[in-house]
């Protein structure tokens, strides 16, 4: 049977999505990227250079091989390997009982995953795009987040929800959102957002082994564009631990996910104007590593927070509130936010919507000169 016009258009869109996640974004080509690579110690063997898709696939393969309770489920995750091919090869290796294609029903995916967790399995559920997670929101916030509390710790509901987030792939308003603040607000959930392949692997392994439910937000814009050294075999990056990826003295820039690369690019441009920026990759959004933020802001006295999500009630607002509560007397300038806008995510103007380096730089310079 010949493919319909709609089938062809969907296939073309999905292929475009994969290609865009490999596109060499300007900031990713910047020399500052070397700050993000996982370097071995002197004398160590050279680690392989891989992208984020490969690193996540490696983590899933390793953990499924180590613990037969781990199962993967989601839309097209089995035979197709997921829309971004992150789960490619798992079905062939572990079989249909552990790599499960589901209907297009996010509430069903998460509801089934919760049931699996309550009966002792460790599900890793994939939501194809962050924009599709909202039908499952009730299951996540009303059931999953509260099971440990309401059962007095008897049922921990140990599972991970993998979610590709963010714009920059020409996905428009239904394939580009960053809903992290909606989940950070909910007690009982942990929220992780890696920016590099090494952190993606290490944090995913830590998340699967964590006793609490974890929302694992993957920046799809850099799925294939960001490459770095990733340790082979088993290793974890601790949940709740930020990383200073660029040391500096004048302004602290806080970012996560794909925007970390833009923050680094802006920091390198600011250096040309005599402003020395310290850049923090949060890595875990909740529980947030407020101690690392405090230490940096006490040193610099100035802070700029960068995120893709809309400005109003975004996570940047909470971070600035925490900074004001804890280190207000050390501030030399008002904290600044560089964010997405309070509009639906646009298709034609997505690069104007995103807080790229050219929007971050003026905020950094103005904060430094205040």
Chain centroid, CA 80 distance in Å: 23
DSSP result, 157-186: ---EEEEEE---SS-GGGS----HHHHHTS
Please list, in sequence order, all residues whose beta carbon lies within 8 angstroms of the beta carbon of residue 6, skipping any fewer than 6 positions away. none
Residues constituting the chain: 370
> Which residue in the list 30, 35, 175, 307 is annotated as catalytic?
175
DSSP result, 226-257: -EEE--SS---PPTT--EEEE--SSEEEEE-T
State how far the alpha carbon of 318 is from the alpha carbons of 323, 325, 334, 367, in Å.
Answer: 9, 11, 15, 19
Q: Is 34 annotated in the active site?
A: no
Please list, in sequence order, all residues whose beta carbon lies within 8 angstroms of the beta carbon of residue 147, skipping any fewer than 6 positions away. 114, 118, 155, 156, 157, 188
The one-character DSSP state at 140 is: I
Please list, in sequence order, all residues whose beta carbon lies within 8 angstroms of the beta carbon of residue 263, skipping any fewer than 6 positions away. 253, 254, 255, 279, 306, 357, 360
The residues that are catalytic are 175
């Amino acid at each position: 049977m010949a493919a319909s016009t709609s089938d062809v258009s969907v296939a073309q869109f999905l292929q475009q999505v994969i290609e865009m996640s490999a596109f060499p974004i300007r900031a990713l080509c910047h020399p500052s990227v070397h700050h993000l690579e996982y370097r071995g110690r002197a004398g160590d063997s050279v680690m392989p250079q891989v992208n984020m898709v490969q690193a996540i696939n490696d983590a899933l393969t390793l953990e499924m091989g180590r613990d037969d309770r781990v199962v993967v489920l989601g839309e097209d995750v089995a035979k197709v390997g997921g829309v971004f091919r992150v789960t490619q090869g798992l079905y062939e290796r572990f079989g249909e009982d552990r790599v499960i294609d589901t209907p297009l029903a996010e509430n069903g995916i998460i509801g089934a995953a919760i049931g699996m967790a309550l009966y002792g399995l460790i599900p890793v559920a994939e939501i194809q795009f962050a924009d599709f997670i909202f039908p499952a929101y009730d299951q996540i916030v009303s059931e999953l987040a509260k099971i440990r509390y309401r059962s007095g710790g008897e049922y921990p509901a140990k599972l991970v929800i993998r979610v590709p987030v963010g714009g920059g792939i020409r996905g428009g308003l239904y394939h580009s959102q960053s809903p992290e603040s909606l989940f950070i607000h909910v007690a009982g959930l942990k929220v992780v957002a890696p920016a590099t392949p090494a952190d993606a692997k290490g944090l995913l392994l830590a998340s699967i082994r964590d006793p609490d439910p974890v929302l694992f937000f993957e920046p799809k814009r850099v799925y294939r564009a960001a490459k770095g050294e990733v340790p082979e075999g088993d290793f974890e990056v601790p949940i709740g631990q930020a990383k200073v990826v660029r040391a500096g003295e004048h302004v602290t820039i806080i970012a996560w996910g794909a925007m970390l690369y833009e923050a680094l690019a802006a920091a390198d441009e600011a250096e040309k104007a005599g402003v020395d920026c310290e850049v923090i990759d949060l890595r875990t959004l909740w529980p947030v590593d407020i101690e690392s933020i405090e230490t940096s802001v006490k040193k610099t006295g100035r802070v700029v927070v960068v995120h893709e999500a809309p400005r109003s009630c975004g996570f940047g607002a909470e971070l600035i509130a925490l900074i004001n509560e804890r280190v207000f007397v050390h501030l030399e300038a008002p904290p600044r936010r560089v964010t997405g806008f309070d509009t639906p995510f646009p298709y034609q103007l997505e690069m104007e919507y995103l807080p790229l380096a050219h929007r971050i730089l003026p905020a950094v310079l103005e904060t430094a000169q205040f």
